[in-house]
Amino acid sequence: MISLAQIKSKLPLDFIENLYKTYNTRIADKILLGMGEKRFTTLRVNTLKSNVEEVKECLEKQNVEFEIVSWYKDAIIIKNAQESDLQKMDLYKDGKIYLQSLSSMIPPLVLNPKEGEKVLDLTAAPGSKTTQMVALMKNEGYILANELDKLRCERLKYNVNMQGAKIVETINENGSTIGDKYPEYFDKVLLDTPCSGEGRFIANDVKTYKNWSTKQVEELIKVQKDLFTSAVKTLKINGEMVYSTCTLNLKENEEIVNWAIKEYPLELEQIKIDLKNTIKGVMKGLDSSLSKSIKMIPTKNQEGFYIAKLRKR
């Protein structure tokens, strides 16, 4: 792990200045120190093809050290192997596991799709949350998984097939148009929106932050609002949606949700998963009116993330 001063010297200055404007010094320091950690590889057991006991047994045979996640029995933290090592294993090749960050697993758990429901994953590639939702639904119901980028959509289709997810229809369209095509059609909607990715920054990996800029953040806000509008249109009355990002600033998180609540008949719901007592680095949304939403601070186990659950009235 590198020092706080070293971390600050590597990351974009505008990002650091905004971080200290948004959070108190203790929290901002904690976020940056989390970005100085080398993150563990984490995975989700694909219960459509396997189970935790089988995966544990296979990992033990390969001398892979691991830890079961207390708040999600299908999630595993790998202690002594990289993603590339796991990708060589039959477990991975057979689609029995999916390499996925822990924070990324939370939005589907919060949305909690049930068997037989119709669900929209509006920006779905590469399919980590899509396939997780299929597992939660036990392959019963319907998921429409949309992705704008053609190459990413192909990756989405590949992962859906690899994981044995049979209830997914994948489409390659602009998410902002889906609302007009499927008015009040879905029971639940996941909007894990394109974002500036601040929660994924790793100080020693310039690839994670080289494209970040304040201009990019401003451009993404319009995209996020357009997608939010589309998502709300597709949702049935009394339907539920989850809005999530892997970024940390207010503009793409709390301010977007506040805008949506004022613009549309949406009500913020309490997130019922008790994460604060089981995961380090979970805090309430910074706006007092959004205290039901949660923010994950980056640590060696998890990326930074923001999650809000809403109901359409």
Is 246 a known active-site residue?
yes
Q: Note the pLDDT of residue 278.
A: 61
Who's near 223: CB < 8 A, 6+ residues apart? Answer: 193, 194
- The order of strands in the sheet holding 97-99 is 66-68, 75-78, 41-45, 97-99
Every domain of the chain and the residues it spans: 41-99, 102-312
Quick check: helix, strand or coil at residue 304? coil
- Write out the chain's pLDDT in tens, 313 residues: 799 999 999 999 999 999 999 999 999 999 999 999 999 999 999 999 999 999 999 999 999 999 999 899 999 999 999 999 999 999 999 999 999 999 999 999 999 999 999 999 999 999 999 999 999 999 999 999 999 999 999 999 999 999 999 999 999 999 999 999 999 999 999 999 999 999 999 999 999 999 999 999 999 999 999 999 999 999 999 999 999 999 999 999 999 999 999 999 999 999 887 665 567 778 888 877 788 999 999 999 999 999 999 999 9
Alpha-carbon radius of gyration of the chain: 19
Single out the residue of 172, 167, 49 nearest to residue 119, CA to CA.
167
- How far apart CA 142 and CA 91 sit, in angstroms, is 26
Q: Cα–Cα distance between 29 and 17 in angstroms, integer? A: 12
Residue 293 has phi, psi (to 5 degrees) of: -85, 165
Residue 198: strand, helix, or coil: helix
Domains 41-99 and 102-312 alike in fold:
no
Omega before residue 12 within 30° of 0, cis: no
Q: Topology of domain 102-312, per CATH?
A: Rossmann fold (3.40.50)
Kindly name the residue from 58, 153, 195, 246 that is annotated as catalytic. Answer: 246
Give the span between the Cα atoms of 167 and 160, in whole angstroms: 9
- Cβ atoms 131, 165 nearer than 8 A: yes
Q: Count Cβ atoms below 10 Å from residue 259 Cβ, excluding itself.
A: 14
Domain covering 41-99: architecture? 2-Layer Sandwich (3.30)
Q: Is 178 helix (H, G, I), strand (E, B) or coil?
A: helix
